[in-house]
Amino acid sequence: MTALLGLAALLLHAALMLAAAPVLVGLIRRIKARLLGRLGAPVTQPWRDLARLMRKEPVLAENASPLFILAPAIICAATIVAALFVPSFALGMSTAPLADLIVLAGLLALGRVVLTLAALDVGTAFGGIGASRESFFAAFAEPALMLVVLVLGLLCGTTNLNVIADTLRQFAPGLSVALGLALPATLLTALAEMGRLPVDNPATHLELTMVHEAMALEYSGRHLALIEYAASLRQLIWLSLIAAIYLPFGMAPEGAGPLAWGFGLLAWGGKLLVLSLALAVLEVCVAKMRVFRVPELLGLAVLLGLLASVFLFLGQGFA
């Protein structure tokens, strides 16, 4: 019975994640537009853009290799599998035993590395600039993320996301100093990994400031659609991850029925709304950073992660 429920929850979760990813992008854009005094496009606009791109005929650069053509599928696959691991409204999905945080980071890294390779494939300056910067940011985001995983792993005894979310949901440690320090570290890492301001400007069309856009510059048609889709899904993964760890209330526990799911769905939607609002407000308020200032930002995240672990060692029994 529990297994069946887990499977049903996974299917619903997968459908919702896949459907909601572009909507979330539209939502953030819409909130930003309203904050700036514009009306903004409807939240379904990204879906329409994707549908339009899928219809269009792609054009490849003359020297594009098979890797360039297959890369969108690999990137999409890695991101989709990562999306299956991050609990949204219910715990105990069928993929829960696989949902290790290090594996999750590895899957996102797989998508990123393939995209940087694709960016270098045609041999243009902009592809190179994007690839170089993306690798650069990722190398500094990784330590901060791993320190957060260390803190969570010590708090909950495992690095499995499902167990972590469940533990934090049941035994809410209140205002734990370690978690309080890990939260900003996670948020800063997430900003860099999602490619949002102040690390990367998702709305830019000025070549020299682009990171993600520069890597996807040579793509068109359905290839571009898959890459854009994977980017939006990656954003939803990060927001859901933050929600599952730091706002774990409302999630349906393992083995709970559809009634609890309904509550969990409402809670998930509410959390995403709050996080999108916060993201939009942040993006309206800050400007993009110089490339060499970004490691300082991520260095701050590493420092916070280190502080969090030290506070944890001080506070816990094994200190």
Partner 1 sequence: MLLAGLLATACAAALAPGAARAVPAVTTMLCGGGLLLDFIYLATGAVPTALPLPFGLPGFGMSLALDALSGFFLVPVLLAGACAAASAPDRPERSAPLLPAFLAGMLLALLAGDAFGLALGFEAMSVASWGLVLAGGEAARGRRAGRLYLGMAIMSGVALVSALALLLPTDGLLPGFGFGAIRDAASLPAPSWRGAAVLGLILIGAGSKAGLVPLHAWLPVAHPAAPSHVSALMSGGMTKVAAYVLVRVLFDLAGPATPAWWGVPLLVMGAASAVLGALRANVEGDMKAALAASTVENLGLIAVGLGVGLLARGSDLPVLAAFALGGALLHVLNHAVFKTLLFLCAGAVQHGAGTRRLALLGGLIHRMPGTTLCALAGAGALAALPPFSGFASVWMILQSLFAAPRIGGLALPALIAVIAALVALSGGLAAAAAVRLIGIVFLGRPRSPRVAAADEEAPRRLAVLRVLAGLSVLLGLFPGLGLILAGPALEGLTGVALEGRTGIWAIAPARDAPAYAAPAIAALLALAGLAAAVLLLRRRNGGVVEGRIGGLAEIPRGPAWDCGFAAPPPWLPFGDPATQYGGLSLAQPFIHLLGRGLLGARESVDMPGPGQTRPARYTLRWRDPAETWLHHPVLRLRHWLTLRANRMQFLTIRRTLVVVVSALLALLIVLAAWGLA
Q: Which stretch binds partner 1 (CB under 8 A): 38-46, 116-124, 167-175, 236-244?
A: 116-124
Q: Does 218 bind partner 1 (CB under 8 A)?
A: yes
Instruction: Verify binding: residue 306, partner 1, rule CB under 8 A.
Output: yes
Q: Cβ 219 to partner 1, closest distance in Å?
A: 9
Q: Contact at 8 Å (CB) between 200 and 210?
A: yes
Task: Output the smallest distance, CB 31 to partner 1, in A.
Answer: 30
Check binding of 166 to partner 1 (CB under 8 A).
no
Check residue 126 for interaction with partner 1 (CB under 8 A): yes
Q: Does 231 bind partner 1 (CB under 8 A)?
A: no
* Least distance between partner 1 and beta carbon 164 (Å): 10
Give phi and psi for 100, each to the nearest 5: -85, 140
Regarding 310 and contact with partner 1 (CB under 8 A), the answer is yes
Of the candidate residues 223, 234, 271, 288, the single one contacting partner 1 (CB under 8 A): 223
Residue 36: CB atoms within 10 Å = 11
Q: Does 297 bind partner 1 (CB under 8 A)?
A: no
Is the CA virtual torsion 54, 55, 57, 59 positive or negative? negative
Residue 81 or 282: the one with the smaller Cβ distance to partner 1 is 81
Number of residues that bind partner 1 (CB under 8 A): 92
Query: Terminus-to-terminus CA distance in the chain, angstroms?
Result: 42
163 touching partner 1, by CB under 8 A: yes
| Range 105-137 burial, b when 16+ CB lie within 10 A, else e | bebbbbbbbbbbbbbbbbeeebbbbbbbbbeeb
**What is the footprint of partner 1 within residues 76-115 (CB under 8 A)?**
76-78, 80-81, 84, 95-100, 102-103, 106-107, 109-110, 112-113
What does each C-alpha distance from 102 to 97, 134, 156, 186, 286 come to in angstroms? Answer: 13, 20, 15, 14, 31
Q: Per CB under 8 A, does 184 bind partner 1? A: no
For the purposes of burial, counting CB atoms within 10 Å of the CB of 205, is it exposed (0-12), middle (13-18) or buried (19 or more)?
Answer: exposed
* CA angle 98–196–130, rounded 5-degree value: 90
Distance (Å, whole) CA 277 – CA 60: 38
Binding track over 256-295 against partner 1, x by CB under 8 A: -----------------------------------xx--x
Under rule CB under 8 A, residue 158 binds partner 1:
yes
Angle at the Cα of 194 from the Cα atoms of 188 and 198, rounded to 5 degrees: 55
Q: Which is nearer to partner 1, 100 or 283 (CB)?
A: 100
Alpha-carbon distance of 42 to 140, in angstroms, equals 36
Q: Is the dihedral of CA 92, 169, 180, 310 positive or negative?
A: negative
Tell me the window of 24-32, 166-174, 216-224, 239-247 that interacts with partner 1 (CB under 8 A). Answer: 216-224
Tell me if 169 contacts partner 1 by CB under 8 A. no
What is the footprint of partner 1 within residues 44-63 (CB under 8 A)?
Answer: 54, 57-63
